[in-house]
Amino acid sequence: MTGAAATGFASAFALILAIGAQNAFVLRQGLLRAHVFWICLVCALSDAVLIAAGIAGFGALVGAAPWLPRAMALAGAAFLLVYGALRARAALAGGHAIDDATATQSLRAALLTCLTFTWLNPHVYLDTLALLGAISTAFEGAARLAFGLGAVSASFVFFFGLGYGARLLAPLMRSPRAWRWLDGAIALVMWALAGGLLASA
């Protein structure tokens, strides 16, 4: 049981760790100290739902609908291109620091953006439905449940750690120049991910 839970935790944590669109968004919200709890909770709960679905065997959905991955890739790429453009525009415009940037997005808008990053990202389905679902087949019964709980707990630890841990970087983000660099880097990440999705579509 403990070994299965540890395997689930380590597997999920390793998959989430890569810097992607969702993680970049959580990091930015953490730096802004804007809706951090709700953003982290939505990310973690979304992962929990997908991990549970993968372990329960619903990864066959993709096999039943072969058009789904391409449609999701195109929709995700379009969103990433637009969001990247918004961050690039913010980087070029500059003029804001951490103190005056906190009111840039309402809770509703932030949650919608967060949900879009999560549910229109084809890679999250590969990681949760396919990969974690496949790894979980090595366990049976209670051990498989322990694997799932370990994987879900990894999502909560990672997202809340990222969201609230970002505050440690706050002293570095007091200047408008630092925000221009951050927004520019996020824009490049978004465009790179969009290019990858379009190439695989």
Helix, strand, coil percentages, rounded to 5, for the chain: 85, 0, 15
CA separation for the pair 190, 178 (Å, rounded): 18
CA separation for the pair 6, 3 (Å, rounded): 5
CA separation for the pair 93, 157 (Å, rounded): 35
Residue 126 DSSP code: I
Cβ(157)–Cβ(13) below 8 Å: yes
* Chain centre to alpha carbon of residue 73: 15
Phi, psi of 105 (to 5 degrees): -145, 135
Cβ(49)–Cβ(149) below 8 Å: no
Give mean pLDDT, residues 56-64.
64
Model confidence at 170, pLDDT cuts 50, 70, 90, reads confident
Domain residues for the domain of 87 are 2-200
Tokens representing residue 15 in the block: 């998959």
Is the pLDDT at 2 greater than 70? The verdict is yes
Is the pLDDT at 127 greater than 80? The verdict is no
Q: Taking the complete model, does pTM exceed 0.75, yes or no? A: no
- pLDDT tens column, 91-123: 888 755 554 444 467 899 999 999 998 888 777
How much is the pLDDT for 201?
Answer: 67
Hey, which of 1-5, 9-13, 144-148 has the most confident mean pLDDT? 144-148
- pLDDT tens column, 130-164: 777 767 776 778 888 898 999 999 999 999 999 99
Question: Distances from the Cα of 45 to the Cαs of 23, 68, 154, in angstroms?
Answer: 15, 23, 11
For the chain, percent of residues with pLDDT exceeding 70: 84
Tokens representing residue 128 in the block: 């949760």
Q: How many domains does the chain have?
A: 1
- pLDDT tens column, 15-24: 787 667 788 8
Is the pLDDT at 40 greater than 60? The verdict is yes
How much is the pLDDT for 160?
Answer: 96
